[in-house]
Amino acid sequence: ETTRNQWPIETSTRLRILDRLLEADQFEQFLNTRFIGKKRFSVEGGESSMVALDEILQRAGSNDVNEIVIGMAHRGRLNVLANIVGKPVHQVFAEFEEAPDSVANRFGTGDVKYHLGASGVRATESGRDVTVSVAFNPSHLEAVDPVVEGIARVRQDRSGDKQRKKVIPVLIHGDAAFAGQGVVMETLNLSQLQGYATGGTIHLVINNQLGFTTNPDESRSGAYATDIAKAIVAPVWHVNGDDPEAVLRVAQLAFDFRQQFSRDVVIDVVCYRKYGHNETDDPTYTQPLMYAKIKGHESVVTQYSQRLLREKLLTQAELDERRKRYTQQLSEAYTLMKRNAEAFELQETREVPVSAPVESTAITAQEAKSIIAGLANIPAGFHLQPKLKGFIDKRREVEHGAPIDWAMGEALAFGSLVTEGTHVRLSGQDSGRGTFSQRHLELYDFENGNQHIPMQHLSPDQASFEVWDSSLSEFAVMGFEFGVSLGDPETLVLWEAQFGDFVNGAQIIIDQFLSSAETKWGQPSGLVLLLPHGYEGQGPEHSSARIERFLQLCAENNMIGGNCTTPAQYFHVLRRQMRGGHDGGPMGKPLILFTPKSLLRNPKAVSTFADITNGAFQPVISDTVVQAGDVTRVLFCSGKVYYDLLAARESRNIGNVAIVRLEQMYPFPSQQIAAVLSTYTAQAEVYWVQEEPRNMGPWRFVLENFLPLLESSRRTVRYAGRPEYASPAAGTTKRHELEQGELVNDAFAARPVTRAPRTLRIVKKKK
């Protein structure tokens, strides 16, 4: 029988446990007396979790770990920031006072103190320093989990940590959230996937046996909050929070298991919550019996202090001195905060600018030819899938004048970036081949299944190129890629939806992180979303990426939104994302691209070799076909509908209608649009044409931004498109074609048409 767990615990270790408990306890007591009635989401009742975190930190130091990345919700967060990360305590106090120098007020609109993150370098007993960081996060429980995994993954990759032993993700959960939030399972499922593995995550569940007011039997179907971890065969240790020595031992075992086997591990610290959900909440409304017991229960710090006194490991005077020493540190930090405090004045929100237009994102002809040759180079003896031979041959023809299609434009953008030293990572469901069989970045030998990725073999000294077919998850995978973009801003990180319609499966990441992280937390991200969008008769689930929702989130230059109509535009906007920022660096803004489906193979939607070896992205593309003096109507549009309008104009031989493409919707290119309008007479009618229903798509956003531009000529912008609908698109191809034909007709009609939504009637045939 093994005796490994019958371990002697040294006196120095027991005193360290005591110190961690005292620090956690005194910190909470100090906040309680100095900031009465303020929310802090105390760790009291679960103080032993601080012992576990400290032991993980110490273990990391003695195992050559460089960094620990922590994700957690609000419970105990301030304590972790102060006592584990080492955030200056006076900064925490300043956030309670809402002082102007507090971290919460340094960014645009800021955030509450228990959402903020921090990073610090902690000395360990081994003598090795370990970087510890807590990721910023919203109140949406567990949403930060995949973000932390992405941060850890890219830091492992960039530091050459191939074994994934040097950077460790640690996720701290509540019991109700661990069992209840679906993103937990999504994130657990990523743990052993090649494109997303981080070498194992240490999960610490602060199990206070409550979810706000909800009892365990009301919040989960399993016996344990951690039962979900059985799905990935993760070891789970259930440990009594009132036994800090057992908690420490479990933390050691969990750390060692993770390092040895590269698997997730779970520590379930069964404890309690001293107060209500927050310090102003009364839990006796719903848990009167539990809180009667808690009221008479001695804290773990009291229990452990008394135990060490009984065992004569220290005297009462020494205990008092330890407590006094830390309290004195808190008092000094409070005095420092008060001395520096100034009267708070509301500052106007800082708008982070988007860089000035880039003059050129072109590449040389020689660079383009070299990339094309590399993409078309197939290893000797590699058996291509028969249909792909034509695909490869078509690529070779580009340097001899063949048109560039969408996939080729994208490949040239990726190839040019990696050969220039910029890492590229593309991730999503079916992204290697492409949902529409257009991309084929991964080639598979037709006889033995071996994989070949030409993009990884363009140059001996190129940067890394990764393309990963993800799990069938939007929330966790987009969150993961957002984390990658934070962990390495110098990498072009792209997440692609299978269809843009499914992007709302990750709505929490979009709302709470992507669109607002910079103004809340000062965290810019350059993540690119590729969202296939367009009305082609495929029904309400395969037509719309909900452009209107993204535009509603746009403010303070927080994101860039575009809908390109040519491969060259797509090429240039991807390169601009990494070359269009200050000093030619990354833009540092999320880029939302509504990408095509039918245009992938539309012979009109192509570019030339010269289009990529010259110029840059154009936010607005004017009409160079019709004569400006002849124009009586200007149709502004965005995306695929341009080609429908173009075909109609050509077939009807119309020469007095201009079609102008809005390629970038946000930041709204007012100056470029004004310049286009100035080329036409003030009597020319202005229309906005879109495929989406009137209550969706860009219409309302465009209307608001167009009106100031037309004010001087006393014109307005008219609408041509589908009427308002509750559902994004028609469910049948016939109805789609009817509606599409009508909106195109309306765009060219002699007078504006306002159509009511169609209603369908079932007409019984007479017998």
Query: For the residues 166-192, what does the mean pLDDT come to?
Result: 98
pLDDT band at 357; cut points 50, 70, 90: low
The rounded percent of the chain whose pLDDT value lies above 70 is 93
Asked whether residue 573 falls in the same domain as residue 671, the answer is no
The amino acid present at 222, given as its one-letter code, is: G
Average pLDDT over residues 325-330: 96
**At which residue do the structure tokens 């998850």 appear?**
473
Burial of 29-42, coded b for 16+ CB within 10 Å and e otherwise, reads ebbbeebeeebbbb
pLDDT at 760 over 50: no
pLDDT of 7 > 90? The answer is no
Residue 129 to residue 106: CA distance in whole angstroms: 28
Secondary structure tally for the chain: helices H, strands E: 25, 21
pLDDT, tens digit, 9 for 90 and up, residues 146-158? 999 999 999 999 9
What average pLDDT does the segment 592-600 reach?
A: 97
**Taking Cα atoms as reference points, which of 109, 111, 117 lies closest to residue 86?**
117
Cα–Cα–Cα angle for 411, 417, 419, rounded to 5 degrees? 100
Q: Is residue 382 part of a domain?
A: no
Co-location of 437 and 542 in the same domain: yes
Q: What is the mean pLDDT of residues 614-630?
A: 96
Please report, rounded to a whole number, the percentage of residues in the chain having pLDDT higher than 90: 88
- CB of 247 within 8 A of CB of 300? no
What is the average pLDDT across 107-121?
Answer: 89
Q: How many CB atoms lie within 10 A of CB 100?
A: 17
pLDDT attached to residue 347: 42
User: Residue 500 falls within a domain, yes or no?
Assistant: yes
Asked if residue 697 and residue 596 are part of one domain, the reply reads no
Asked which of 489-498, 611-620, 703-712 is least confident by mean pLDDT, the reply is 703-712
pLDDT on residue 755 = 61
Tell whether 565 and 698 lie within a shared domain. no
- Asked if the structure places residue 718 within a domain, the reply is yes
* Shared domain check, 174 and 272: yes
Mean pLDDT of the chain: 93
Residue 356 lies in a domain: no
pTM, two decimal places: 0.94
- How many folded domains does the chain comprise? 3
pLDDT in tens, 636-651: 999 999 999 999 999 9
* 246 pLDDT higher than 80: yes
Report which of 688, 643, 680, 636 is spatially closest to residue 662, judged by C-alpha positions. 636
CATH number, domain with residue 433:
3.40.50.12470
* Among 668, 689, 690, 686, residue whose Cα is nearest residue 678: 686
State phi, psi for 473 to the nearest 5 degrees: -140, 140
Domain encompassing residue 421: 406-442+460-612
Please indicate, yes or no, whether residues 548 and 636 belong to a single structural domain of this protein: no
If asked whether residues 169 and 31 sit together in one domain, one would say yes
What's the average model confidence in pLDDT over 437-452? 95
Q: 558 and 625 share a domain?
A: no
- Residue 226 forms part of a structural domain: yes
Domain-terminating residue out of 311, 340, 369 = 340
Q: What is the CATH number of the domain that holds 735?
A: 3.40.50.11610
- Please indicate, yes or no, if residue 376 is contained in any of the structural domains: no
Backbone dihedral angles phi then psi of residue 538, each to the nearest 5 degrees = -95, 10
Residues 584, 646 within the same domain: no
Look at residue 101 in the predicted model and tell me its pLDDT.
56
Q: Which pLDDT tens digit goes with each residue over 517-570?
A: 999 999 999 999 999 999 999 999 999 999 999 999 999 999 999 999 999 999
Kindly give the pairing relationship between strand 129-134 and strand 67-72: parallel
Mean pLDDT for 690-703 is 98
Same domain, residue pair 567 and 660: no
Domain endpoint, select from 612, 633, 652: 612
452 inside domain: no
The pLDDT, as a whole number, for residue 359 is 77
Instruction: Write out pLDDT tens, residues 123-132.
Output: 999 999 999 9
Domain boundary among 579, 612, 645: 612
Cα–Cα distance, 408 to 568 (Å, whole number) = 9
CATH of the domain at 325: 3.40.50.970
For 656, the token pair is 């007095």
User: What's the pLDDT at 714?
Assistant: 85
Answer with the residue of higher pLDDT: 585 or 590.
590
Is residue 629 in a domain? yes
Query: Token pair 């082609």 is at which residue?
Result: 536
User: Band of the pLDDT at 5, cuts 50, 70, 90?
Assistant: low
- Assess whether 608 and 710 both reside in one domain: no
pLDDT of 762 reads 44
118 DSSP 8-state letter: E
Q: Is residue 363 within 8 Å of residue 416, measured between CB atoms?
A: yes
pLDDT at 345 over 80: no
Same domain, 567 and 590: yes
- pLDDT beyond 90 at 699: yes
Looking from the CA of 142 toward its CB, the CA atoms found within 13 Å total 21
pLDDT at residue 668 is higher than 70: yes
Is 273 exposed, middle or buried, given 0-12, 13-18 or 19+ CB atoms closer than 10 A?
A: buried
Which residue type sits at 571? F
Q: What is the predicted pLDDT for the residue at 107?
A: 66
What is the average pLDDT across 88-94?
Answer: 93
Contacts of 515 (CB under 8 A, 6+ apart): 553, 554, 558, 559, 590
